[in-house]
Amino acid sequence: MQNKAILFERPQIEKIKQDIADAINKIVKKDIVEAINLIYPPNQNFGDLSLPCFELAKEFKKTSVEMAEFLTSKIKLDNIILTTKAIGPYLNFILDKSKLATTIIEEILSTKQFYGLNSFGNKEKVMIEYSNVNTHKEYHVGHLRNICYGDAVAKILLANGYKTTSVSYINDFGIHVAKTIWAYQTFLKEEKSNIIPLIPFVEEKNKGYFLGKIYVRACEELEKNKENKTAVDLIMKNIESKQGSDYELWQETRQWSIDGLAKIYDELKIKFDQIFYESEFIDRGLDLVGQLYTKRFLVKSEGAVIADLQKYDLGVMVILRSDGTALYPVADLPLAIEKFKKCKINKSIYVVDTRQSLYFRQLFKILELLGFKQEMKHLSYEFVKLPEGMMSSRTGKVITYEDLYEQALEKVVLEIKKRHEDWNEEKVNNIAKKIVIGALKFEMIKVSADKVITFDIEQALRFDGFTSAYLQYTVARINSIISKSKVESQKSIKSEVVLDNLKDIKEHFLIIKLAKYPEIIKIAGENYDPSEIAKYLFELAQEFNDYYHSVQILKTEEEIMQARLALIMTVRQVVVNGLELLGIEVVEEM
């Protein structure tokens, strides 16, 4: 276990920035410049770090160009700042390449998997709720965005020093359940010949998958004959009564779905600290609604029980329909209260798609009015669609997770076998599974949450381009180079040889890129944006591969080889660390 002082020590590049800020503040005799004000020039030929002089110029009543020129004439060079130059309104710093390389490489090789972690969150307790799926429905590719986004955000917050708790809230009690049970009872009994194609899914896949197919059938039949809605409503009331054959069938089929979800979570390597179910909170919610109605916090309108939030410009939230059936707030309110009171969290984050934005603003306002002052945040995200258009569980126009996973696995297995005829079946399958899961996850988090994803499995599995496989292949390529070098471990690398032997400009660009990683983690945490890390890793991999094709790593003098091996080991470490935050496993060889 790493020493905590090492684990949360300020990154070396930040120390360099702070030294520069302190030096400038000494010149102007004011504490006005901070480390965060130092940026990276858009053109690396300008320098390694740059200070925009606009604010300083205002303070000292100069033009920004004059300010930059004034500072460059006054600043004293030290052991890391080689020279400075003013370019327009920017003061640029050129760092000693050898010393910077030694500093950054030693930092990464010493902190290893902890490189880039920070204590910014100060152990604040954050609960992040995601993968809020429905039982008795298909688990499709659209659900992947939620679970992959939520899991990555949880890992990134943990890397930023927050104390995170990951939970899932599963809707196991809605009208969709009654629809599925109605279709299951009706068509499995009366039309076995028509349902036969579905039967193998019970044995070969999982019964949760099977229920999803039945739900689609239910929606189709109810659309044809709306009179069947009466039968569905009756089943829903029987389930709510918690007795009788419909309730028992609900219990049995509910477990089918839960088992199916557990299998998916296991394949995705995603673990929840706790899973909540809507059915556990309905009774508590109804009691709470009764209390709030008595206190006139809630009122009746046209037979329905509502929260009137119009004076907050949030419209009206319906709590109970006019027929007495419960809507989402009935369970969401007591669940939120339990989180705050029992779990004692400081912040509650909900990962739910953008359609629910108004709903969560209403929910948060109600909780605030009830006296809860903890921070509540809705992390919304846009839809996933197929190349041919939007998906819909009701119509069956989806790619289920199970189908997608098996198709992708088959494709990758065939590709690996072509490349490695000598690999045994177990090795092929293990590597193929990591590539497939990595591809699915990466496609869901490589773009910002406010962008619609058009999911294309052919593109997702490419070994070149902005894909997980490209990053995994980069790690495998570095492993291969190290293996050929006969160097047993990074401990065999003498760090002092780095000082004078990394002279290629591409090596310097790689060092600067590696130095940025801790800042990327912080930015990703502040913005709840895993795509920041995905984009950074892709750029780092591109720079490495460009470097790999430009220089000889092994066929060179011993000390130069040692230095270059140390450099690529740090690249590997950072790619592995970043992929871990995205929930993606590396592949040792490909």
Concatenate the DSSP letters of all residues of 80-97 into one string. SEEEEEEETTEEEEEE-H
Task: Give me the pLDDT at residue 197, please.
Answer: 46
What's the N-to-C CA distance of the chain in angstroms? 30
Question: Pick from 213, 182, 181, 179: which is nearest to 196 by CA?
Answer: 213
Instruction: Name the strands in the sheet holding 163-170, side by side, starting at the edge strand that comes first in the sequence.
Output: 274-277, 163-170, 125-129, 347-351, 375-379
Q: Residue 334, Cβ neighbours under 10 Å: how many?
A: 20
Q: For residue 103, what is the enclosing H or E element?
A: helix 97-111
Token pair 């080689």 is found at: 82
Measured in degrees and rounded to the nearest 5, phi and psi for residue 305 equal -95, 125
DSSP 140: B
Q: Residue 560, Cβ neighbours under 10 Å: how many?
A: 18
Q: Residue 214, Cβ neighbours under 10 Å: how many?
A: 24
Task: Give me the pLDDT at residue 51, please.
Answer: 97
DSSP 400: B
The structural architecture, per CATH, of the domain 130-278 is 3-Layer(aba) Sandwich (3.40)
Task: Give me the pLDDT at residue 240, please.
Answer: 86
Read out DSSP for 150-178?
HHHHHHHHHHTT-EEEEEEEEB-SSHHHH
Rounded-to-integer distance, Cα 262 and Cα 426, Å: 23
- What are the structural domain ranges in the chain? 4-95, 130-278, 281-335+350-399, 415-581
Task: Give me the pLDDT at residue 390, please.
Answer: 59
Per-residue pLDDT of the chain (590 residues), as tens digits, is: 344 444 557 899 999 999 999 999 999 999 999 999 999 998 888 999 999 999 999 999 999 999 999 999 999 888 889 999 999 999 999 999 989 999 999 999 999 999 999 999 999 999 999 999 999 998 988 899 999 999 999 999 999 999 999 999 999 988 999 999 999 998 876 554 454 444 444 444 578 888 888 998 899 899 998 889 999 999 998 998 899 999 999 999 999 999 999 999 999 999 999 999 999 999 999 999 999 999 999 999 999 999 999 999 999 999 999 988 889 999 999 999 999 998 999 999 999 999 999 999 999 999 999 999 999 999 999 999 877 765 555 555 678 899 899 999 999 999 999 999 999 999 999 999 999 999 999 999 999 999 999 988 889 999 889 999 999 999 999 999 999 987 655 555 555 556 578 889 999 999 999 999 999 999 999 999 999 999 999 999 999 999 999 999 999 998 899 999 999 999 999 999 999 999 999 999 98
Question: Fold for domain 415-581?
Answer: Isoleucyl-tRNA Synthetase; Domain 1 (1.10.730)
Q: What 3-state class would DSSP assign to 380?
A: coil
Task: Give me the pLDDT at residue 192, please.
Answer: 47
Rounded-to-integer distance, Cα 221 and Cα 234, Å: 17
**What is the dihedral sign for C-alpha 486, 489, 494, 499?**
positive
Contacts of 222 (CB under 8 A, 6+ apart): 179, 228, 229, 232
Question: Pick from 499, 465, 498, 507: which is nearest to 44 by CA?
Answer: 507
Rounded-to-integer distance, Cα 550 and Cα 473, Å: 18
The structural architecture, per CATH, of the domain 4-95 is 2-Layer Sandwich (3.30)
Please say whether the beta carbons of 205 and 402 come within 8 A.
Answer: yes
Please say whether the beta carbons of 381 and 145 come within 8 A.
Answer: yes
As given in the structure block, the two tokens for residue 143 are 């659900």
Rounded-to-integer distance, Cα 124 and Cα 374, Å: 12
